[in-house]
């Protein structure tokens, strides 16, 4: 990325981190995904139970393998060979995890985390259930306000439909355009907005990364 452009985005990301801290998340800015990964792994105590939302960002961090191979009890929704009902059962168990790892679809400049979800496990887990929530997001997720956040959800949903086999037949996959479908493969079933992070002190950590990661 052009250096001036990057400097602008980094400044904005740091401003948003300040806002997030004022809104009672534990927020931190880091330059790289590797630094974010170290913070995540340093934060989760050995022996903890861990659940994870579906996330390109976490995949780019190789977080599934890190947790799978670490000294944790992983509610592994990604385990090869799981049927969908089995996967859903893992979602249910993960609702009581010590840590829930996820990204977010949009972060508004005034500190709201906005997400779209198919089964609702990520939306639910961010709001209540797991004792701690750790959010890792690239600075490309920052948007001005709630309207832009909702626009962003509609823009990225077709990409996620293309990425996820259960949603490959959604009508937006070949066109890249949302038609508010009603097909079985619809991905856009739940939208959550986290307004602030302070209801349970220390529950929310947000790591904002100065890289373009995830969708």
Beta strand 99-102 with 49-52 is parallel
Owner of token pair 């022996």: 47
Owner of token pair 């002190």: 201
- The percent of the chain in helix, strand and coil, each rounded to the nearest 5, is 40, 20, 40
Question: Is 153 one of the binding residues for ligand SF4 (CB under 6 A)?
Answer: no
Question: Is 179 one of the binding residues for ligand SF4 (CB under 6 A)?
Answer: yes
How many chain residues bind ligand SF4 (CB under 6 A)? 13
Question: Is 156 one of the binding residues for ligand SF4 (CB under 6 A)?
Answer: no
* Half-sphere exposure for 204 (CA within 13 Å, toward CB): 26
Q: Taking CB under 6 A as the criterion, which residues in 185-214 touch ligand SF4?
A: 186-188
Cβ at position 105, least distance to ligand SF4 in Å: 12
Question: Is 114 one of the binding residues for ligand SF4 (CB under 6 A)?
Answer: no
Question: Is 180 one of the binding residues for ligand SF4 (CB under 6 A)?
Answer: yes
Cβ proximity to ligand SF4: between 16 and 157 the closer is 157
The helix/strand count (H/E) of the chain reads as: 8, 10
Cβ proximity to ligand SF4: between 1 and 179 the closer is 179
Please identify which residue in 17, 133, 172, 208 interacts with ligand SF4, judged by CB under 6 A: 172
- Using DSSP, state whether 205 is helix, strand or coil: strand
CA distance 185 to 175: 15
Please identify which residue in 40, 170, 207, 213 interacts with ligand SF4, judged by CB under 6 A: 170
Please identify which residue in 52, 157, 207, 208 interacts with ligand SF4, judged by CB under 6 A: 157
Token pair listed for 31 = 């330059």
User: What is the distance between the terminal CA atoms of the chain, rounded to a whole angstrom?
Assistant: 17
Please identify which residue in 158, 197, 210, 214 interacts with ligand SF4, judged by CB under 6 A: 158
Backbone phi, then psi, for 10, in 5-degree steps? -65, -45
Cβ at position 215, least distance to ligand SF4 in Å: 12
- Site residues for ligand SF4 per CB under 6 A: 157-158, 161, 170-172, 178-181, 186-188
């Amino acid at each position: 990325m052009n250096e001036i452009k990057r400097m602008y985005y980094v400044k904005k990301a740091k401003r948003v981190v300040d806002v997030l801290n004022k809104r009672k998340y534990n927020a931190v800015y880091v330059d790289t995904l590797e630094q974010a990964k170290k913070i995540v792994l340093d934060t989760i105590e050995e022996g903890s139970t861990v659940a994870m939302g579906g996330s390109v960002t976490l995949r780019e961090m190789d977080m599934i393998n890190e947790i799978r191979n670490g000294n944790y009890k992983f509610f592994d929704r990604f385990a090869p060979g799981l049927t969908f009902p089995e996967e859903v059962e893992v979602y249910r168990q993960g609702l009581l995890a010590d840590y829930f790892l996820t990204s977010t679809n949009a972060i508004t400049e005034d500190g709201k985390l906005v997400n779209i979800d198919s089964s609702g496990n990520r939306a639910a887990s961010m709001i209540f259930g797991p004792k701690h929530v750790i959010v890792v997001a690239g600075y490309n997720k920052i948007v001005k306000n709630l309207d832009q956040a909702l626009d962003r959800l509609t823009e990225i949903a077709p990409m996620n439909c293309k990425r996820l086999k259960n949603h490959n037949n959604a009508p937006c996959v070949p066109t890249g355009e949302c038609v508010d479908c009603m097909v079985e493969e619809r991905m856009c079933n739940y939208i959550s907005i986290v307004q602030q992070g302070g209801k349970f002190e220390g529950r929310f950590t947000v790591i904002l990364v100065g890289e373009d990661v995830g969708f």
